[in-house]
Structure 1
Amino acid sequence: MSIKSFFAIPFAKIATKQVLKWAKNPHKTQQKVFNNLISKGQKTAFGKDHDFKNINSYDDFKKRVKVTDYEGLRPYVDRIVAGESNILWTGKPLYFAKTSGTTSGAKYIPITKDSMPTHIKAARNALLFYIAEKNDASFVNGKMIFLQGSPVLQEKNGIKLGRLSGIVAHYVPQYLLKNRLPSWETNCIEDWDTKVNAIVDETVNEDMSVISGIPSWVQMYFEKLIEKTGKSISEIFPNFNFFIYGGVNFEPYKNKFESIIGKKIDYIELYPASEGFIAYQDSQTEKGMLLQLDSGIFYEFIPSTEFFDDDPTRISLKDVQLGVNYVIILNTTAGLWGYNIGDTVEFTSLAPYRIKVTGRIKHFISAFGEHVIGKEVEQALNDAIAGTDINISEFTVAPQVNPKEGLPYHEWFIEFENEPDNLEEFTSKIDASMQKQNIYYLDLIEGKILKPLVIQKVKKGGFHEYMKSIGKFGGQNKIPQLSDNRKIADVLEKFLQD
């Protein structure tokens, strides 16, 4: 055991005890965060415009601050980008996390001196919980790889900007730098194909113990390693025992992953966003991720079924319930107020508060009033592949409203690694699960408004080709797993199996 791994275990136990202190006092913790946000927010242009000095309760806050998105806050963000201070938060941001908006072009999400440390601390604590639970820190002796965006930052009126993962790369602790791969030079490569090939060359002979990234892009890295060596990942990296991921539900990809790796491993799920580090998996035995209540974020929740109503229910943490799909709303020390990041979550535990991400509020199918959400299509796919050797590389779902003949249907585009022997039976299993989960979908099938779903087989590598064709090929981009329109589906038709 190295000195580093020896000291990591007691440090992990101390750190996790500190986290559990606030986790066991959730409402007091959130009230403290709320009070701090309002106190500092009073000194900002947004706070003055919204009468923060007369906010004494959450009800007062709801009356003055409406739920919004980037477009709603954009007039304030534009003033910060132009160089003004004390607009959404005190002073100026340290960084802008630059993301691509679907309607607003580039989005500049502020990261402040108060919010930046919470990103780093949460990521660190996720690893420490794993160490404390396993009573094993041997992985810190091996090499670690984080597939992420380039750390090269630009500048906007004196404020540095880049992708969140690139910004975070500047905060890797000194004691991990010797273990961290790829090299700085490789990490700065912009072209994703070139970058992954360079990472393969740098890591193929290393003792990798931890690998992190979005599953579909890590899978691409694994496939290139296998192509280069002819070995499974467990043979190439015998000490690789856990994978860190975020951004997608991993279950549909798990079979494929474990078959590529060649053994079962542990997983840690993270829920980082440019707007704040929201949750991380704190246990290998409990479902869900621990909601970060002490990270400068005051959370609000709106039932997803009401979100588009004129006056939806809007609640704080103390009123949430298990089994309800909520749109998550953030108020942060980066100056985001009543901010809808577009994600939906469901609570898996209320003591402590743990959540799972169920999808995107804009990523749903209701072309016929069925209100199908991401959680349902993922569950249906999991039900169909359970107990089989079927492996899925990627998938997405869209409505087919105007078929050439017959009734409309939901069209599933699936890239198989291992195909089902009987596609018709596999399709029926998915459809049966959908009908069981969603009564509206069941009614539409039984009422002969829709016919059962149809699967289109995407050729191997087809989703990567699709991402290249739309200029989204790279480690931080994800395929929406369902859409209420044909924008993705119509292009994917070019990448089907012959």
Structure 2
Amino acid sequence: MSIKSFFAIPFAKFATRSVYKWAKKPHKTQDKVFKNLISKAKNTAFGKDHDFKNIVTYDDFKQRVKVTDYEGLRPYVDRMVAGEEDILWEGKPLYFAKTSGTTSGAKYIPITKESMPTHIKAARNALLFYIKEKNDASFVDGKMIFLQGSPVLQDKNGVKLGRLSGIVAHYVPQYLLKNRLPSWETNCIEDWDTKVNAIVEETVNEDLSVISGIPSWVQMYFEKLIEKTGKPISETFPNFNFFIYGGVNFEPYKNKFESLIGKKIDYIELYPASEGFIAYQDSQTEKGMLLQLDSGIFYEFIPSTDFFDENPTRISLKDVKIGINYVIILNTTAGLWGYNIGDTVEFTSTKPYRIKVTGRIKHFISAFGEHVIGKEVEKALNDSISGTDINISEFTVAPQVNPENGLPYHEWFIEFTNEPENLEEFATKIDASMQTQNIYYFDLITGKVLRPLVVRKVKKGGFHEYMKSIGKFGGQNKIPQLSDNRKIADVLENFLEN
């Protein structure tokens, strides 16, 4: 046991006790964050425009600050990008995290000296909770790999610009640097295919104990390793015992991962976003992720069923209920106000407050009034593969509104790594689960408005080819799992099995 692993256990116990101090006082913690945010931003351009000096209560805030998105804040962000100070937050940002948007083109999300440490602290604490729960820190002596974007940063009028994962790469603690892979040179490779191949070469003979990344891209890395070695991942990395992921629901990938790895392992789910580190898994036995209430984010929630109403219900943490699907709204020390990041969440616990991500408010299907959300399609797929050896690499769902023959239907594009013997029976199982979960979908099927869903087999590697074709092939890009239009589906028609 190294000095690092020896001292990690008592430090983990100290850190987790500190977290639960604020977790046990959630409303007081959020009130403190709220007051600090208003006080610090009252002399900014946004604060003056929205009369922050006269905001005392949350109701005052709601009257002055409307829920918005990037486009709504863009006039302020554009001023910051141009080099102005004291616009959304005091001074200038430390960084702009560059993300891609569907309507805005490139987005520049500010990260400040107050918000940056919360990203690092939350990621660290997720590992410390795992160490404390297992009473084992031996993994810190092994090598760790984080599949992420390039750490090369650009300059934008005196502010560094890059992908969030590339920015975070500059904050890896010194004591972990010699354990961290890939090398800086490999991490800087932009082309994803070239980068993954280089990572395989660098890691194939190493003792990896921790692997982290978006599941679909880590799966690609695993498959290339197996192609090179002819061995399951557990034989290549015998001390690899847990996987860290975020950004998507892992359940559809779990069967495939365990078949590639060759043994069962633990998983740690994170909920990091460029806008803030929102939650992380604090227990291997409890459902959901611990909502970060002391990280400079004041949270608001809107029931997803009300979101598109003219005056939707808008509540703070104290009024949320378990099992309701909410759109999550952020107010942050990076200067985002009433900001809808587009995600929907559901509370699994209120003592402490834990959440799970259920989908995207823009990623739904309601072409016929069915209101299908991401959580439902994921559960339907999991119900259908449970207890089988069917493995799925990737999938997405879209409505087929104008079929050549017969009634319209939902079209499921699925790339299998181990496919069902009978595709029609498999589709029937998915459809049955969808009808059980969603009464609107049930009524449309039984009322002969829709016919049961249809599964299309995407050829192996087809989703990667699709992502390349739209210029979004890389570790930070994800396929939406459902869409209310045919934009993705129509292109995927070119990547089906013959």
Give the alignment's TM-score, normalised by structure 2: 1.00
2:157 is the counterpart of 1:157: yes
Residue 323 (structure 2) aligns with = 323
2:392 equivalent to 1:392: yes
Name the CA distance, whole Å, in 1 between partners of 2:56 and 2:108: 30
> Percent identical across equivalent pairs?
89
CA displacement 1:186-214 (0-9 Å, x = unmatched): 00000000000000000000000000000
Q: CA–CA distance in 2 between the matches of 1:494 and 1:280?
A: 38
CA distance in 1, matches of 2:496, 2:155: 42
How far apart in 1 are the matches of 2:2 and 2:167? 30
For structure 1, which segment, 421-430 or 142-151, has the greater mean C-alpha deviation from structure 2 after superposition? 421-430
In 1, distance between residues paired with 2:105 and 2:396? 24
Structure 1 equivalent of residue 294 of structure 2: 294
Structure 1 equivalent of residue 441 of structure 2? 441
Shift of the alpha carbon at 1:300?
A: 0.0
2:130 corresponds in structure 1 to 130
Alpha-carbon shift at residue 86 of structure 1 (Å): 0.5
Code of the residue aligned with 1:69 in structure 2: it is: D
Runs of 4+ in 1 over 3 A off after TM superposition: none
Distance of 1:210 and 1:9 partners within structure 2: 17
Q: For residue 67 of structure 1, report the CA deviation from its aligned partner.
A: 0.2
What is the aligned partner in structure 2 of residue 59 from structure 1? 59
Count of residue correspondences: 498
Provide the rounded CA distance (Å) in 2 between the counterparts of 1:71 and 1:172: 32
Deviation string, structure 1 residues 364-386 (Cα, Å, up to 9, x no partner): 00000000000000000000001
In structure 2, what is the equivalent of residue 83 of structure 1?
83
Within 5 A, what are the aligned runs for 1:267-416?
267-416=267-416
C-alpha separation between the residues in 1 aligned to 2:75 and 2:282?
38
Cα deviation digits, residues 210-250 of structure 1 (max 9, x gap): 00000000000000000111110000000000000000000
Question: Deviations 1:38-97 (Å, cap 9, x if unpaired)?
Answer: 001102110000000110100000000000000000010011111111000001000000
3-state DSSP class of the match of 2:356?
A: strand
User: 2: CA distance between counterparts of 1:360 and 1:83?
Assistant: 32
Give the aligned residue type for 2:365. Answer: I
Partner of 1:426: 426
Describe the superposition over 1:101-150 as per-residue Cα deviations: whole angstroms up to 9, x where unpaired: 11111110000000000000000000000000000000001000000000
SS in 1 for 2:267: strand
TM-score in terms of structure 1 length: 1.00
**Partner of 2:192 in structure 1?**
192
Show the counterpart of 1:44: 44
The one-letter amino acid of 2:367's match is: A
Matches within 5 A, 1:477-488: 477-488=477-488
Q: Which amino acid aligns with 2:229?
A: T
List aligned pairs for 1:457-472, cutoff 5 A.
457-472=457-472
Letter in 2 for 1:366: S
Deviations for 1:5-29, whole angstroms, at most 9, x for unmatched residues? Answer: 0000000000000000000000000
- The aligned residue for residue 12 of structure 2 is 12
User: Which amino acid in the other structure matches residue 204 of structure 1?
Assistant: V
- In the other structure, the counterpart of 1:21 is 21
Equivalent AA in structure 2 for residue 322 of structure 1: I
Partner of 2:33: 33
- Supply the AA of the counterpart residue of 1:169: A
Measure, in 2, the Cα distance between the counterparts of 1:194 and 1:253. 24
Matches of 2:105 and 2:489 in 1, distance apart? Answer: 22
CA distance in 1, matches of 2:5, 2:231: 29
Question: How far is the alpha carbon of 1:262 from its aligned partner?
Answer: 0.2
Provide the rounded CA distance (Å) in 1 between the counterparts of 2:35 and 2:353. 20
Distance (whole Å) between structure 2 residues aligned to residue 446 and residue 228 of structure 1: 50
1:228 maps onto 2:228 in alignment = yes
Q: 2: CA distance between counterparts of 1:196 and 1:274? A: 23
* Partner SS for 2:402: coil
Which residue of 2 is the match for residue 112 of structure 1? Answer: 112
Look up the match of 2:249. 249
CA distance in 2, matches of 1:432, 1:224: 36
Counterparts of 1:143 and 1:483, CA distance in 2: 39
Per-residue deviation, 1:423: 1.4
Shift of 1:495: 0.5
SS at match of 1:436: helix
User: 1:271-316: per-residue Cα shift (whole Å, max 9, x none)?
Assistant: 0000000000000000000000000000000000000000000000
Deviations along 1:404-431, whole A, 9 cap, x unmatched? 0000000000001111112121111100
| Structure 2 residue ranges without an equivalent (≥5) | none
Give the corresponding residue for 1:491: 491
Q: Does 1:218 align with 2:211?
A: no
